[in-house]
Amino acid sequence: MSLDYLKQVLPRCYTPSRNPPETRPKNLPGKIIISTTHTELINIRNTPVDPITLTSIYVPPPSDTSIFTFDIEVLLQISPNQILCGDYNAHHTSWGCNYDCPRGNSIKAFALQAGLEILAPSTPTRFGTNSANTIDFAIVKNFLYPYEIHSISELSSDHNPITLNFFLQYSIPKYPGKLKTNWKKFKDTLKNSEFINLHFVNTAEHLDSIVCRLEDEIINAKISSSNPVKENYIYHDSKFRELNSERNLARKTFETYGDPVLKRKLNKLNKQIKKLDQKIETEAFTNELLNVNATDGTVWKFVTPFKKKTKSIPSLNGPGGIANTDLEKANFLAESLETQFTLNNITNPDTEELVADSVRRFRTEANSVCKDFDPPLPSEVLDNIKSLSINKAPGIDGISNKMIKNLPLHTILTITTIIHKIMTLGHFPTRWKTATVVPILKPGKDPIDTTSYRPISLLPSLSKIAEHLILKRLNNYLKENNVLCPEQFGFREKLSTSHQLIRVVEYVTRGVCQ
Shared domain check, 467 and 382: yes
**Structural domain ending residue among the three candidates 275, 307, 339:** 307
Q: What is the pLDDT of residue 367?
A: 54
Shared domain check, 211 and 101: no
Span of 14-18, 96-100, 121-125, 143-147 with lowest mean pLDDT: 14-18
Mean predicted confidence (pLDDT) in 112-140: 87
409 pLDDT tier (thresholds 50, 70, 90):
very high
Q: Are 149 and 29 in contact (CB under 8 A)?
A: no
> What Å distances lie between residue 339 and 309, 333, 434, CA to CA?
28, 10, 19
Shared domain check, 157 and 53: yes
pLDDT tens, position by position, 73-101: 888 888 778 888 889 989 998 888 888 89
pLDDT tens, position by position, 422-449: 988 889 999 999 999 999 989 888 889 9
Determine the Cα–Cα distance for residues 270 and 287; give it in Å rounded to an integer: 26
Mean predicted confidence (pLDDT) in 387-415: 92
28 pLDDT tier (thresholds 50, 70, 90):
very low
Q: Which of 214, 121, 252 is nearest to 413 (CA)?
A: 214
Annotate 479-502 with DSSP letters as a single string: HHTT-S-TT--TT-TT--HHHHHH
Most confident of 55-59, 205-209, 259-263: 205-209
Mean predicted confidence (pLDDT) in 129-141: 87
Report helix, strand or coil for 94.
Answer: helix
67 pLDDT tier (thresholds 50, 70, 90):
confident
Report helix, strand or coil for 503.
Answer: helix
Shared domain check, 53 and 124: yes
* Cβ count near 69 (within 10 Å): 19
Shared domain check, 411 and 385: yes
Residue 105 lies in a domain: yes
Determine the Cα–Cα distance for residues 489 and 496; give it in Å rounded to an integer: 6
Q: What is the pLDDT of residue 313?
A: 86
Mean predicted confidence (pLDDT) in 164-173: 73
Determine the Cα–Cα distance for residues 280 and 236; give it in Å rounded to an integer: 7
Shared domain check, 505 and 479: no
Q: Are 395 and 219 in contact (CB under 8 A)?
A: no
Residue 225 lies in a domain: no
Domain tally, the chain: 4
Residue 26 lies in a domain: no
Shared domain check, 158 and 51: yes
Q: Give the start-end residues of each E strand in 22-116.
A: 30-35, 39-44, 52-58, 82-87
Indicate the pTM of the whole model: 0.55
24 pLDDT tier (thresholds 50, 70, 90):
very low
177 pLDDT tier (thresholds 50, 70, 90):
low
Mean predicted confidence (pLDDT) in 295-313: 75
Question: Edge-to-edge, what's the strand order for the sheet holding 117-119?
Answer: 30-35, 39-44, 52-58, 82-87, 136-141, 117-119
Shared domain check, 505 and 425: no
pLDDT tens, position by position, 193-232: 877 788 888 899 999 999 999 999 999 999 888 888 776 6
Residue 424 lies in a domain: yes
Residue 20 lies in a domain: no
Q: Does the structure show a pLDDT above 80 at 18?
A: no
Report helix, strand or coil for 420.
Answer: helix
- As a whole number, the mean pLDDT across the chain is 81
pLDDT, greater one: 340 or 320 = 340
Q: What is the pLDDT of residue 365?
A: 57
Shared domain check, 501 and 442: no
Determine the Cα–Cα distance for residues 166 and 49; give it in Å rounded to an integer: 12
Shared domain check, 154 and 47: yes
The domain of 462 spans 185-217+370-483
Q: Are 103 and 59 in contact (CB under 8 A)?
A: yes
Shared domain check, 151 and 76: yes
Q: Which of 437, 432, 439, 438 is nearest to 461 (CA)?
A: 432
Residue 342 lies in a domain: no
Residue 96 lies in a domain: yes
Q: What is the CATH number of the domain that holds 101?
A: 3.60.10.10
Q: What is the pLDDT of residue 352?
A: 86
Q: Are 474 and 362 in contact (CB under 8 A)?
A: no
347 pLDDT tier (thresholds 50, 70, 90):
confident
Q: What is the largest CA-CA distance in the chain?
A: 115
Most confident of 172-186, 230-244, 380-394: 380-394
Span of 30-39, 118-127, 145-154, 250-259 with lowest mean pLDDT: 30-39
Which DSSP state fits 147? Answer: E
Mean predicted confidence (pLDDT) in 468-484: 87
Q: What is the pLDDT of residue 468?
A: 94
Shared domain check, 116 and 53: yes
Residue 100 lies in a domain: yes
pLDDT, greater one: 419 or 325 = 419
pLDDT tens, position by position, 487-498: 888 888 888 888
